[in-house]
Chain A
Amino acid sequence: MRNRFHILGVALWCAAAARAAEMRVQVQAGQVRGAPSYLGGMVTTVGYGQPVDVVSTQGAWHQVRTADGKSGWMHDSALTAKLISANAGGAAARVGASGDEMALAGKGFNKDVEAQFKASRAGVDFSWVDKMGSMTASTAEIERFVKNGGLAQPGGAQ
């Protein structure tokens, strides 16, 4: 009888350990890399508020499984243990979010509010802010920049 309890206990412990922790993406396009490094090839991106399963952790990097079954590595800064309710798009928006857990609620300051702000401020122009949004350095450019400049490998598992 006692043994049976022990076996049950061990089985429950194993089940809990095997269940990966769920985290959510807290950036617009969370980068899933093939290796725990920003120079690891991009596997996919996961949108704001979407859940991923954390399988293991190595320094600042989490090995994750996405909702559509892809595996890779995400940096800690792209993820949160809080639930997120996204404003637009994201299928995970508001799913399962409730009460006090909604620390990262998505309504509030958004595109509509920005539009009203813009309308009320003569001379405030967002065209350069929008242009800045598109000034993205690609992984290949960064890799070249790091290599040619004699810099250290960025964002490895520290």
Chain B
Amino acid sequence: MTRGLMTLAGGCSLAVALLPTGCSTVAQIGTLAGQTAGVITAEQAESINRTAAAVEKTYQDITPEQEYYIGRSVAATVLASYAPYDEASLNAYLNVLGQTLALYSDKPETFGGYRFLVMATDEVNAFAAPGGLILVSRGLLRCCRSEDALAAVLAHEIGHVQSQHGLKAIKTGRFTSAGMTLVMEAGKNLAGQEMAEVVKVFEGSVTDVASTLMNSGYARALENEADAAAVRILGRAGYRPEALVEVLDVMKARLASDARGFGKTHPTPESRIQHVRGLLGSRAAPAAPPVRQQRFEAAIALAK
């Protein structure tokens, strides 16, 4: 949701006033007292202060630029298991559709922007890497009967990106690691051992996100959140939000005989359909001009 400038600034200063500053100040006073009393050395105090600061960090402290780099490596990791589908016209159509849809989202701009790519696999699957690199399988494209349905699939993935679900998959323990503390420390030039620590925490973070996407899946609440975002995006764009139910219906039939991909990492289509139905309004989308279906069919023929 859009926040006004004042709310944004107010929220930030309130958060700073309430949490991080308060905690680190207490920690620093403690270490200062310890130093004065000669209980701990300055070096130990520095280390304790650093850890105290690290405890306060969460995925929200990852900068847009860092999110972009995590996303790139997550996408590269996924593409090591799922080959890209090298069909320029199809990928171009997917990008115009996806990048248009993103403009109706709550977060139209990310550090590197939204980009879409088809994966060659027959498996029904899609992945949204942090920052907006979105991969959709040929198997999932074949479940779509209209541009509205394909828009529903992409809008669901955009929903994951705008709510930073990928970053939420990074284990909380990583934020207290020495490497992440270095990442969060301002303006530090890294080399040698420190660089090695940062690379270690980067690899760990990428693995956390990639394995959540490919193996364990998100919690049901996050999938519901992405479905709700999809319904909003479709409605704002002038697509039929019911198209999300239509594509889930097709997936239900497909997944009955092939439980790979989505079948493994997502709640059942039935339960999602039930949730999505509850979100649909009664207002009908404006009638689609024939060209919408024509351009969809021309593009999707390349996925067969």
Chain A residues within 8 Å of B, Cβ to Cβ: 21, 23, 26-28, 30-31, 38, 48, 54, 57, 59-60, 62, 75-78, 80-82, 84-87, 94, 97-100, 102-114, 116-118, 120-121, 123-126, 128-129, 132-133, 135-137, 141-142, 145-146, 148-152, 154-155, 158
| Nearest A-chain residue to B183, judged by Cβ | A108
Q: Would you call B69 and A113 a contact (CB within 8 A)?
A: yes
Contact call B8/A81, Cβ cutoff below 8 A: yes
Q: Which residue of A103, A142, A150 contacts B103 across the interface (Cβ within 8 Å)?
A: A142
Identify the closest chain B residue to A150 (Cβ): B289
Give bound CA distance, A142 to B96, whole Å.
6
A101 CB → nearest B CB, Å: 8
Q: Which of A107, A110, A135 contacts B185 (CB 8 A)?
A: A107
Select one of B63, B66, B108, B195 contacting A75, CB under 8 A: B108
Are A154 and B182 touching (Cβ within 8 A)?
no
Contact (A38, B5) CB under 8 Å given A148-B295, A149-B295: no
A109 touches B111 (CB 8 A): no
Q: Which chain B residues lie closer than 8 Å to A123 at the CB level?
A: 80
Chain A residues with CB under 8 Å of B61's CB are: 103
Instruction: Determine whether B113 belongs to the interface, using a CB cutoff of 8 Å to chain A.
Output: yes
Q: Which residues of B contact A85 (CB under 8 A)?
A: 186-187
Total cross-chain contacts (CB, 8 A): 209
In the assembled complex, the CB of B33 is this many whole angstroms from the nearest CB of chain A, namely 21
Contacts of A109 in B (CB 8 A): 62, 65-66, 69-70, 183, 198, 202
> Which size bracket describes the interface of B in this complex?
35 or more
CA–CA, A9 and B54, complex, Å: 43
> In angstroms, how far is the closest chain B Cβ from the Cβ of A20?
10
Q: Are A105 and B5 in contact (CB under 8 A)?
A: no
B154 to chain A, nearest CB (A): 13
B interface, CB within 8 angstroms of A: 2-5, 8-9, 12, 16, 20-21, 24, 61-66, 68-70, 72-73, 75-77, 79-80, 84, 91-92, 95-97, 99-100, 103-104, 106-113, 115-117, 133, 147, 182-190, 195, 198-199, 202-203, 206, 236-239, 286-289, 291-292, 295
Q: Tell whether, in the assembled complex, residue B95 and residue A135 are in contact, meaning their CB atoms are under 8 Å apart.
A: yes
B115 touches A135 (CB 8 A): yes
> Which residue of chain B lies nearest to A105 when distances are taken between CB atoms in the complex?
B186
12 A-B Cβ contacts within 8 A? A27-B64, A27-B110, A59-B2, A76-B8, A81-B5, A81-B8, A113-B202, A114-B73, A114-B202, A125-B80, A135-B91, A135-B92
CB-CB < 8 A to B133: which residues of A? 129, 132
